[in-house]
Amino acid sequence: MVDIKKIITIDGPSGSGKGTITQLVAQKLNWHILDSGALYRVLGLAAQRHGIAFSEVATVAELARNMDLQFRINDENGEVEPILEGENLAPFVRTDEAGQAASQVAVIAEVREALLARQRDFYQSPGLVADGRDMGTIVFPDAPAKIFLTASAECRAERRFNQLKNKGVNANMRALLDSIKARDERDQTRSVAPLVPAEGAFVVDSSNLTISEVLTQVLEFASKSMPDLLPN
């Protein structure tokens, strides 16, 4: 019998709620998580730390192939921390600057190729929830359940604003909206693995949905493709 891997892919633009829904789905199913954006974010930071310009395509790709990167779970808060060359990058990896750097290294075809195997290695039994831009189109094209999560740019900027406010960080709504639109444009128009819904993906626009409503819709859809996913 052919072994069908238990994978749910969750792709979508920045701030659409992928990370939030990925964590909730993984918790519910007791599955593993791939936060593929973290790999691109760490690579962007690594390039900056090594003084490599994003335009030095071959050197950035070389860095992607050889990056000394592990992920470690923090025992105290349960958060996943990227450890690059022995340094914990957790305080830097979620910043808007790291997101913009990630989006720039992510346009390089050789970088994407170099990160493919690392991403596929995250698959482990009993299953994987994979969050990114090309999880359903390129990295796990055979995943049985593919989700494309989106929301209006204005709504995503407002969510990001509230997220930062709750952390006590001052943010400017106009700058956040501009940053989100710039990242959308780059991620959707790049020539390699652009952000598009995978064929057969269930598209959820969360602009007017609560997190709990999105979670319900995602689990319902995934259960149709994998009938033994949840107990009745």
Ligand X SMILES: Nc1ccn([C@H]2C[C@H](O)[C@@H](COP(=O)(O)O)O2)c(=O)n1
What is the token pair recorded at 32?
């593993």
Q: Does 17 bind ligand X (CB under 6 A)?
A: no
CB 129 within 8 A of CB 26: yes
CB of 214 to ligand ATP, least distance (A): 5
CB of 204 to ligand X, least distance (A): 16
Beta strand 128-132 with 7-11 is parallel
CB of 95 to ligand X, least distance (A): 11
State which residue, 44 or 99, has the beta carbon closest to ligand ATP.
99
19 is in an annotated binding site: yes
Q: Does 134 bind ligand X (CB under 6 A)?
A: yes
Q: Does 132 bind ligand X (CB under 6 A)?
A: yes
Sheet holding 80-84, edge to edge: 69-73, 80-84, 87-88
CB 175 within 8 A of CB 183: no
State which residue, 17 or 144, has the beta carbon closest to ligand ATP.
17
106 binds, among ligand X, ligand ATP, none (CB under 5 to 8 A by kind): ligand X
CB of 101 to ligand X, least distance (A): 8
C-alpha dist (Å) from residue 175 to 93, 101, 182 = 19, 16, 10
Q: Which of 133, 146, 156, 160 binds ligand X (CB under 6 A)?
A: 133
Sheet holding 128-132, edge to edge: 32-35, 128-132, 7-11, 145-150, 202-205
**Separation of alpha carbons 89 and 32, rounded Å:** 21
Annotated binding site for ATP: 12-20
| Chain residues in the site for ligand X (CB under 6 A) | 14, 36-37, 40-41, 99, 102-103, 106, 132-134, 183, 187
